[in-house]
Chains A and B, each alone.
Chain A
Amino acid sequence: MILATLIIAGSLLMILYTIASKGMQSLTWDIISKVPEGGYYIGKGGGILNAIIGSLYISIGATVLGLVISIPVVLYVNIYAKRNSWLANITRLTFDVLFGIPSIVYGAFGFTIMVYFGLRASLLAGIITVTLLVIPILARAIDEVIRLAPTELSDATYALGATRWETSLIFLRQAIPGIITAILLSFGRAIGDAATVLFTAGYTDSIPTSLGQPTATLPLAIFFQLSSPIEEVQNRAYAAALILTFIVLIISLSAKYFSKKLSKHKI
């Protein structure tokens, strides 16, 4: 057990060490504040602000859209549907299956839909596809915490004359820490996933100004730069990885902070 713990901790440190040692030298203010200049990919000036902003747009958009869809589903399954009804069970099974589908399949599926509707690779198509990817993550995580809330809690609210909707609000309140964890999981997955955005979001050197424009993303920025033969460009890929890790780290820490703050009334 100690060995296993050491392996886990060790590999985290190894990853951080690798990207830090290779990326630090290229991590300049230019990298995070500028879009690529002409010839950036053969070592000329500029940065990856386009990918940072693009990734934030996509993961925030997808997480928000995913919440808007998964919270009502979870409330339906837990509070509106009768306990153990077949529709609730099928919904849960569906989420389990969707959860296991590799992201490249979502990418391909998103691509098909895009083609069908005549959409170009764009921010919108990227957000929609990543939303499909994060819905099962969000729904399963939130379902888990709402199911953990005692059923007597709903007996209590119903006995006070609350409707199902008012009862739902109490359950959401009880589940806030879990919902924040779900958001964190989903955001981390959304910002780090390359396969879903590969076909759907496209890649561009400018920051998108509308949903219809294509956008760069950090995972793809890492991929394209790492495949370059030029060492300077490869190091910039590690710098991009460092930025990606840093964003996820900030999200994790702030999620922890808020979940503690918002859960003081949890029973």
Chain B
Amino acid sequence: MTFESPHIRVKDLNVHIGGNHILKNINIDIPDKKLTSFIGPSGCGKTTLLKTFNRLLDRNKDVQIDGQVLVDGENIYGKDIEVTSMRQKMGLLSQRPFPLPMSIYDNIAYGPRLHGTTKKKELDVLVEHYLTATGLWDEVKDRLNGSAARLSIGQQQRLCLARGLAVEPEIILGDEPTSALDPISTQKIEELFLQLKDKYTLVLVTHILRQARRLSDYIAFLYMGEIIEFGPTEDILLRPKEKLTQEYVKGYIS
């Protein structure tokens, strides 16, 4: 399945880690301002695929990446790409929240400060805006200078989302962002994702089929490092064409 002007286009991507072939001939188009989910059993390579999108994999010594990942038509593995500004386009939400070792306020202000916003007034506005956008403002407005580490884990995850949004990304990558959270926090994050779909391109790795169904517009099913099937949510979950997808969706393999 291809799109005319995808936000991210992956072409013939192969990833080897320490001699193991983790991703095999990946070709996929991630549509603009939609939510695309990667599903598949653990170890199938969905997180690795996600991490190739903002080049977080390159930091390991024995990783070999071949092929292209085009973001807005530009190959992010090209020679004269500036990795830091490329990464800034992509917000990342990891499995467990990792607030920075500083206050709640500074966590949000960290990104804007890196990229040149230093005036206290402007930062105040940004902090309030993004904390409001993630529904945290009322919960934390009285302790903005308190430590981010003191927040509950659900609040921390929303703080991390707000922190990511504050650098004005175009794409948000979620690597099983609710797997460490309680049901209520999960619900809050899911609601936020649904709201964000209008403005951002979202890519979500999840192993919860019901979550994929609630949130995604498109689903890609990965198995053993290959994309088995990719299509609209309903097609993949209700009318899968491939036998492997059928078995996974029905719960025979996990």
**Chain A residues engaging chain B, CB cutoff 8 angstroms:** 82-85, 150, 152-163, 166, 170, 173-174, 264-267
Write the chain A residue with the least CB distance to B156.
A267
Q: Identify which of B94, B100, B164 gathers the most chain A CB atoms within 10 Å of its CB.
A: B100
In whole angstroms, what is the CA distance A247 to B205 when docked? Answer: 56
Q: Which of B71-121 contact A (CB under 8 A)?
A: 84-85, 87-88, 90-92, 94, 96, 98-103, 110-111, 114-115
Write the chain A residue with the least CB distance to B99.
A267
CB neighbours of B167 from chain A (8 A): 160-161
B interface, by DSSP: helix, strand, loop or mixed? mixed
**Chain B residues engaging chain A, CB cutoff 8 angstroms:** 54, 56, 59-62, 84-85, 87-88, 90-92, 94, 96, 98-103, 110-111, 114-115, 147-149, 160, 163-164, 167, 173
Q: Is the CB of B56 within 8 A of A160?
A: no
CB neighbours of A265 from chain B (8 A): 101-103, 147-149
Q: Is the CB of B148 within 8 A of A267?
A: yes
Q: Is the CB of B98 within 8 A of A266?
A: no
- Residue in B62, B101, B111 whose CB lies within 8 Å of A266: B101
Write the chain B residue with the least CB distance to A156.
B98
CB neighbours of B84 from chain A (8 A): 158, 161-163
In whole angstroms, what is the CA distance A264 to B150 when docked? Answer: 9
Q: Is the CB of A160 within 8 A of B88?
A: yes
In whole angstroms, what is the CA distance A77 to B87 when docked? Answer: 23
- Residue in B61, B114, B115 whose CB lies within 8 Å of A82: B61
In whole angstroms, what is the CA distance A96 to B91 when docked? Answer: 39
Say yes or no: A166-B114 contact (C-beta < 8 A), given A161-B167, A173-B102. yes
In whole angstroms, what is the CA distance A264 to B104 when docked? Answer: 12
Q: Is the CB of A161 within 8 A of B103?
A: no
Q: Is the CB of A160 within 8 A of B103?
A: no
A/B interface sample: 11 pairs, CB < 8 A: A153-B98, A153-B100, A156-B98, A156-B163, A159-B87, A159-B164, A160-B88, A160-B110, A161-B115, A173-B102, A267-B99
